[in-house]
Amino acid sequence: MKLIVGNTGEGNAVFLVEGELATNLTEAFPEVGSDLMGLIGSPDLASQIAKAAPEKEKFPVSSIEPALPVERPSKIICLGLNYVDHIKEGGYDVPDYPALFMRSLNSLMPAGQPMVRPTCSERLDYEVELMLVVGKGGRHIKEQDALSHVFGYTVFNDGSV
């Protein structure tokens, strides 16, 4: 199931994407809410909606102004130095252990919004990243079970100075 969260002019809504068309799930099923948290918190709701949504009104995906997939994420953990060519380009050594760092909510913006270079920097670096949206928590998760904890994924433009 492909989803996008977008601004309707009256607030954000979750849309089901099918090819070039989308269905406003928030309008059709208010329990979905205005971001992905309603569906993340209720996997049964997502499967019920996927079956019923095709009957609802559709309109072009291109008309949706993207919003953040999760309005207030509890945490954003990033994996740095994870692409060998980029590591070498930056003059760093390939790490032996994952280089993790945190992002705060105020450092995120929806697709299409401007990325602002802080005046304290002469250079703004950016790169596309794969973002996993974790839907189910846990500890000491076995490698073979890890993907069962992922709700979905999206692209993320990581800007840094």
Answer with the one of 42, 66, 90 that is the final residue of a domain: 66
Query: Which CATH number goes with the domain that contains 135?
Result: 3.90.850.10
Which amino acid makes up residue 59?
F
Written as six digits, the tokens of 62 are 């291109």
Place of tokens 């000491």: 140
Say if residue 50 is in the same domain as residue 104.
no
Say if residue 115 is in the same domain as residue 83.
yes
Report which of residues 117 and 150 the model is more confident about.
Answer: 150
Average pLDDT over residues 110-118: 85
Domain count along the chain: 2
Q: Which of 51, 33, 103, 101 is nearest to 75 (CA)?
A: 103
Confidence of residue 51 (pLDDT cuts 50, 70, 90): confident
Say if residue 11 is in the same domain as residue 32.
yes
The whole-model pTM stands at 0.85
Does some domain include residue 71?
no
Q: What is the pLDDT of residue 53?
A: 66
Return the SS3 of 31. helix
